[in-house]
Structure 1
Amino acid sequence: MNSNLNELLYRETAVEQAQKNSHQFTMDIPETSLDETRNTLRLTDNYFFANKEIFISKHNRFAPYPLHSHQFLELNYVYSGSCQQTIDGVPTTLQTGDVVLLDVGSKHSIDYLGENDILINILFRTKDIHIDLLNKLKNSQSALFSFLLNISTGDFNHLKSLIFRNTGKTGVSTVIETIMNEYFFPREYSDEIISSYLPILFLTLTRDYKNTLIDAGMDQYSEPVIFQVLNEIDHHYDTVTLDSVAKKLSYNKNYLSNLIKAKTGNTFTELLNKQRLSRAHLLITSTKIPISRIITEVGFSNKNYFYKKYKESYQHLPTIDR
């Protein structure tokens, strides 16, 4: 265990000191990054990913954190002690070394953390789940593969969280703590190393937990062509069409369309729009490129249609993210 990391994590922050004195929750992010329109605290990604691809923080101790959801994926890791959470209505106790992966929209609250309870939050976005990673995981027959693939294809009817219990025989803690050291004590190439370790983390979770995370519904993703379609969308979202994919893969267009719908629960257009909107959202929140230009760059030809789909996806117009 890195002594510098240990010292940093146990050191009380200003927010922790305030919560320790008041025994009440203290908001630790700007109000502009909150969305309370649905009577639930919703954390948006414009604050967390302004200058980085992955955001890591220690969860503040000494007060409960209210029920909330987020626009991004969250991985919680219990560095030490224990943690009581309620995840989508289900009370859950996490112990040292346990990991929970929460999908976009998953609602959870976190109970009071004591002095020795160190919970780490690792935040990342769906765009960080690349098709290449899914291809590596697809033969594992694990629930993690199914979970990540459902996120990638935009299936919002699937399980919203996965819990990985520490068995004492996995390398997950080593991987996570390597990521933490690069993040909290950055050196040259730290950002690149962190990004490279994200798929390593997923692969380690799959390898070490595959026997306890079997998913009976995996057969629906055994069709290799689905990965080829997703790969085309992932890499050529700005120009790809169903016609071009069908031609490239030597499939009848109508047959391929029906197969995509049957295997993913989404039409080709829905999958393509999801990828285009994700890319547009990233550009809108992290660059100064005019929205009109972004619309064209990601492949939309109709401005009104883009605004309609953007609002459906993010519950507000793109101008709010500027």
Structure 2
Amino acid sequence: MLLDIIFILGGLALLYYGGELLIGGCLRIAQHYRVSPFVIGATVMGFGTSAPELAVSLLAALEGSPEVAMGNVVGSNIANVGLVLGLTALLVPVTIDKARFRLETPPLLIASFLLILLAWDQGLVRWEGLLFLAGIGWYIARALKDEEESLLHFEDELKWFRGKPIGFQFILIVLGLALLVAGARGMVVGGVSLARNFGISEWFIGITIIALGTSLPEIVSSTMSAMRGHGEMALGNVFGSNIFNIFMVLGATASIDPLMIQEPIRADLIFTTALTCMLLIMINLKHRLEKGGGVVLLSGYAFYVGAKGLGLF
């Protein structure tokens, strides 16, 4: 039990310092290349913090577990919106520029509805996976093409390694991502073992500790960005992560090995898209996600977990 507690505390420490390095490196790269925090959050941070989902889904597909691969993406996207942004907004209001919101909303909606359309028949074949991979290429090219060439003015609060060359900042980002993944892994291993020692069911472990552990990189990155006054980066992290999960993770797995799902997934597909639309509607009202919106999103996530546990869908 002591070892489990050490894993949990060590994981928390790695998450904190990993988040510090990731945010600091991303902000300095944004300054250097005159790229907005949203684009950095949607690409570097969003894709990077989804690395665990990519690894899990690819491994699951290769081992013949398509439900794990698909469920990993759908569950992660629900957690990113409901848990990550809900918790972030509960701690500090998250804002986004009106023009930026209008520009970045279509890719998220396209990815979400395309997932419903293609996976409605309980699977993804190879050509659909290749279509998703083309989608991630389109998204990255679009994000860079539409970026305004304007110098960012913000205070970099991270004092470590300031003044180092830009190549060193990329190293900091990679190191930060590695620490985030390792920290999440430590939290999951320690938490699962601790829960089993207390006789908690395997299912409950999966929907609480495991789900929380795989979402910790996004939680840390988004909350730290918002608390530093960079709400666009926090939103960009979730937008980019969800788009990456659909286009890249499912695209890569389905391209390697078609995903044929036996469990009914249509209700889950509808719920993840509905939660995403709810988020976009709330942001569109004030271009700001406040505590009330955070409560709504967290409630939506809690409802999903509870409904799945009770077998309501």
Q: TM-score, normalised by structure 1?
A: 0.25
Q: Report which structure shows greater RCO (CA 8 Å, sep ≥6).
A: 2
Bigger share in strand? 1
Bigger share in helix? 2
Q: TM-score, normalised by structure 2?
A: 0.26
Q: Which has the larger radius of gyration?
A: 1
